Structure 1
């Protein structure tokens, strides 16, 4: 039974969890979340995850929408950029490290996210991801709004062109699953549908803004009462050509004309020179990334002043040099997405046993040999594919001994401290608590 491990520490009344011993719950959370994540029976796993999530909410870590903060940003930029962190592996340990540093630096403006593609290859469905993050919050004593986000809920162009209805329904299904798991922040990416063969920018962007409007209306239909999911749009497919003001206005004007609802988008992702994961050179090192910060500044200003959005979002930034991150708050960027850099730190850490790294790489070479592109060196192939080493080997990663994981987490904590400092989110808990009023959505305990 899902309630067994916490039976003396909580009380159930009318399918609602009440906490009797918060410290006792913290002490048992490592065991409880491990047991839930690796439960073989899918129904039992779901029940355990739901129960742990309800316990976490009762302990004060509440899944929330960042909408209120972003509306405030749209009125007056607060001088910081919100980090949105994708955790692909060792999720519980990494989330704990993030919460530890957030507590030390009084950070409230912080997002945990996972993309459509990552849900697949990391084998973390939304319910598991949200629950593991909230379990980490409880374990570290973090209380307040916790922002969990669906990143790049993207329509795949080739699937859409083959069967538009089926691809749209797939994304709606993913949105429904995520919202049910209490992802109250969703980024819709239909920038893949932009048609550059059309004669005007507005017509080029039409498939993008019409699909974003349709999916935004769907989110508004299914969101819980009393809560507005924060919805992001996107105009520039990451890794393609840089976005410009004409595209931004065409997309946002078109969205306004098409969207039938009260609250529309809270932010807009644009392309300014990055690519996801960085560009890897033949020797396995990364090419230097050049971001057009002036484009980011001008687009964020237009989004904020003309449309009331929080600003623009930068993707693919985690592999930038440390010296670049101060530029995001300086240019009025509202949010920055960070993923591959943390994965690289885990894989490349001197504390990760060489034999374990070799085991993962050998698995990748065997299982994903067909993914190797013509002309790729082995170093390029491993770098671009090792993200797929977390999901199938998830239990082996979680089972690494503490004398391996703890020093790796110390390295990550130092990186989180640097990023929180450069992005100026230290002491952002006050504005978050003022602008975001968490809504506890009862999900029952599914016993």
Structure 2
């Protein structure tokens, strides 16, 4: 199907976007790029959040931007997010997918971006859509075995993401931090050197007129808490190593969370003790000493609801949310039990090698069920409409609570001002 034909059909009958995006994902992969371009021509496109983060770098604006990872039912869940945003007049939120998620959810950048943009079109959302590459990460073992090969692999992913309108990218070289080194600057050396190289690479290939928003990371999520000394060592090393003038706009820190939370043998999630004092201190240092928008918090979606209002209170610029939405889909009472069990059987049969000694069945399922989204992508999309309606109505309620706690209500006018809309 040609782009002009798609444009004509979407203009005449916008409802056909449901059929077109389904066809592009499951039947005609070549249609993805055509639909991607057609939506862009209609003004539904990816934006860099850079201009907003420039505002944050001068003064904390009173709200925290959620970066939401969609692993399954992406089109439907994105639509629910856009509906929530329209209801609250909210405009500052990001759709993201991590390097690892691209693999196990079977959502390459072009597909992910096109699905999200199609959802925006469907819901009549006409503010900027921010799409982000989350944890574009270097594998430590692979890097030290062959640094150039590992860096080139990541550069190729960055190229692919940029071509799909991912104009926000979080570079994660925190896996290369060496805590055995005595000097903090030496601990962070590989981290800031590789981050600088990748920043320079992005600046060389970013589209004309678009300043891609880049993030860095000083401590691997799930490790020890980050310190002001680590932040300063990383930023000073980064600034000295960069060849291009523009580096990162934000910095991810470790303050006590772990991706997905810690699941107990009975399947319940352990309580997390998040260090908000450190988060606020690091955010202030990032902003006041280095001109960044602030600190970014990962692995926060499994925290109690009461915690979310503490992110803007402690001047956190961005918070990453993923596992809670995955859990919401799997654990919702409307999801047919036989469908859930079919996925769990698949995991137990096909991922036995990931069942570590000492893990209960509940822990194994919790750890691996994220991989049920890729293996059963079409099944999730094809769920009965009544089932999806129950799940998504409740999910909208969850998004609304989070958006309100993060002070996103009525941010639409600011977004229009910042982006001259």
TM-score (norm 1): 0.92
In 1, Cα distance between the equivalents of 2:419 and 2:185?
34
- By how many angstroms is 1:367 displaced? 1.1
2:137 aligned partner: 154
Q: Secondary structure at the match of 2:20?
A: helix
Partner of residue 107, structure 1: 90
What is the CA distance between 1:392 and its match in structure 2? Answer: 1.2
Q: Name the CA distance, whole Å, in 2 between partners of 1:79 and 1:86.
A: 23
Q: Which residue number in structure 1 is paired with residue 9 of structure 2? A: 9
> Using the alignment, how far apart are the partners of 2:2 and 2:78 within structure 1?
22
The 5-angstrom pairing of residues 223-302 of structure 1 reads 223-302=206-285
Shift of 1:7: 6.3
Q: Which string of whole-angstrom CA distances, capped at 9 and with x for unpartnered residues, describes residues 140-168 of structure 1?
A: 00002100000000001111111111111
* RMSD across aligned positions (CA): 1.3
Q: 2:32 aligns with which of 28, 49, 54?
A: 49
In the superposition, the TM-score normalised over structure 2's length comes to 0.98
Deviations 1:173-227 (A, max 9, x none): 1101000111000000000101122221011101000000000000111100011
Q: Deviations over 1:391-424 (max 9, x none)?
A: 0111111111100111101111001000000000
Partner of 2:347: 364
Inter-partner Cα distance in structure 2 for 1:67 and 1:298: 22
Q: Give yes or no for contact 2:9–2:16 (8 Å, CA) kept in 1.
A: no
Q: Which residue of structure 2 lines up, in the alignment, with residue 32 of structure 1?
A: 20
Mapping of residues 185-224 of structure 1, within 5 Å: 185-224=168-207
Number of the residue aligned with 1:141: 124
Q: 2:3–2:37: 8 Å Cα contact kept in structure 1?
A: no
For structure 2, the residue ranges without an aligned partner over 5 or more in a row are none
Give CA-to-partner distance per residue, 1:252-304, whole Å, 9 cap, x none: 01111111112211100000000000000000110001100000000000000
Partner of 1:343: 326
Asked if 1 retains the 8 angstrom alpha-carbon contact of 2:3 and 2:38, the reply is no
CA distance, structure 2, for counterparts of residue 394 and residue 303 of structure 1: 39
CA distance in 2, matches of 1:319, 1:7: 41
SS of equivalent residue, structure 2 residue 45: strand
Say which of 392, 407, 415 aligns to 1:424.
407
**SS of 1:89's equivalent?**
coil
- Matches of 2:3 and 2:390 in 1, distance apart? 33
Quote how far apart the aligned CAs of 1:54 are: 2.2
- 2:327 & 2:248 partners in 1: Cα distance? 32
For residues 249 and 188 of structure 2, the distance between their equivalents in structure 1, rounded to whole angstroms, comes to 19
Deviations 1:303-324 (A, max 9, x none): 0011110100000000000010
Kindly state the Cα deviation for residue 52 of structure 1 after the two structures are TM-superposed. 1.6
Q: 1:388 to 1:2 in 2, by over 3 A?
A: farther
- 8 A contact 2:71–2:373 mirrored in 1: yes
- Which residue of the partner structure matches residue 415 of structure 1? 398
Taking the aligned partners of 1:172 and 1:217, their CA distance within structure 2 comes to 11
1:400 maps to what in 2? 383
Aligned residue for 2:110, secondary structure, equals helix
Q: CA deviation at 1:60?
A: 3.0
Query: How far off its partner does 1:3 sit?
Result: 4.5
Structure 2 distance, partners of 1:240, 1:390, is: 27
SS of residue paired to 1:325: helix
**d(CA) in 2 for partners of 1:399, 1:114:** 22
For residue 437 of structure 1, report the CA deviation from its aligned partner: 5.5
Q: Does 1:65 align with 2:53?
A: no
**8 Å Cα contact 1:67/1:436 also seen in 2:** no
Distance, in Å, in 1 between the alignment partners of 2:406 and 2:8 is: 42
TM-superposition CA deviations, 1:78-103 (whole Å, max 9, x none): 10000000000000000000000001
SS at match of 1:391: helix
Contact 2:227 2:282 in 1 (8 A): yes
1:84 aligns with 2:72: no
